[in-house]
Amino acid sequence: MPWSGVSSASSVPSVSFCLGPMRVEKPVQIVTLTCWVVMPVHGSRREKQVDIGVALDDIRVPIDVVVTSPEDFAWRKEVVGTIEYPAVKKGKVLYARE
């Protein structure tokens, strides 16, 4: 599990979503996956995105990693036009902490 090397429970994401390109009728060949990670971040979100991307480096499909805080995710998931909206509506939950 990519999160097993983190130092504290606050570093483990609350939820992770994954979304690939899809057509309405049928799936298309995956070019890039987008992985949304909802977690508290102390410091740079960009650095956390890079750290997670490095941890997922052995996966042979290109992955874009987006990190968002639980507070931002709570309101952005319902707003059309935000990057969190399609994650909730069309993405697949990969991990959810109780």
Q: How many domains does the chain have?
A: 1
Residues 62, 32: Cα–Cα separation, whole Å: 5
pTM of the model: 0.67
Using an 8 Å Cβ cutoff, are 71 and 51 in contact?
A: no
Query: Domain range holding 66?
Result: 13-96
Using an 8 Å Cβ cutoff, are 63 and 35 in contact?
A: yes
Using an 8 Å Cβ cutoff, are 16 and 35 in contact?
A: yes
Q: Is residue 30 part of a domain?
A: yes
What is the per-residue pLDDT across 42-80, written as a single tens digit (0 to 9) for each? 899 999 999 988 988 888 888 888 888 889 988 998 999
What is the per-residue pLDDT across 18-37, written as a single tens digit (0 to 9) for each? 655 544 455 556 577 788 88
Q: Is residue 1 part of a domain?
A: no
Residue 33: CB atoms within 10 A of its CB come to: 17
Residues 12, 83: Cα–Cα separation, whole Å: 21
Q: Is residue 59 part of a domain?
A: yes
